[in-house]
Amino acid sequence: MTQIYRVVFVLTLFFISYGAFTPTESSQSILYLDKVVHFLAFLILTFLLDISLRDPINVQKYAILFLIAYAGSIEFIQYFLPYRSAEIYDFFSDLLGILVYLYFCPKNIYKA
C-alpha cells in the first residue's frame, strides 16, 4: 500500500508544480484565496508524504526539509518567470500548511 501512496505523492508534486509554473489569470474574486490554496496544498502534500514513508514524518527530518526546500524552490523559480510572481507570504502559507500537519498528526503511527 505504501507504494500506491508514493505514486500519489509524486503525482501530487507534479500537479502542484504544474499549477505553480503555468500562467494564470490574476483576477482574484476572494481575498487571500491564493494563500489558502498554498496552505491546503502543502497540508495535503505533507499528509501524502507521511503516509508514503515507512516511519512517521515527525522522526524523518529530511522529509520535512525536502518539503520546505520544495516550497522555497517554487517561489525562487516563480521570481524568474515573467508571467508569475514570487511572494514571501506564499512561502509562509506553505510552511504553515506543513507545520499545522506536523502539529496535529499522530506522533506514533504504526506503519505496516
Tell me the C-alpha distance between 36 and 31, whole Å: 10
Q: Please provide the average confidence, as pLDDT, over all residues in the chain.
A: 88
- The total number of residues shown for the chain amounts to 112
Q: Which amino acid belongs to residue 46?
A: T
Q: Which pTM was predicted?
A: 0.87
| CA–CA dist 77, 66 (Å, integer) | 16
8 A C-beta contact, residue 12 and residue 44: yes
C-alpha cell at 42: 502543502
Cell of 44: 495535503
pLDDT at 25: 74
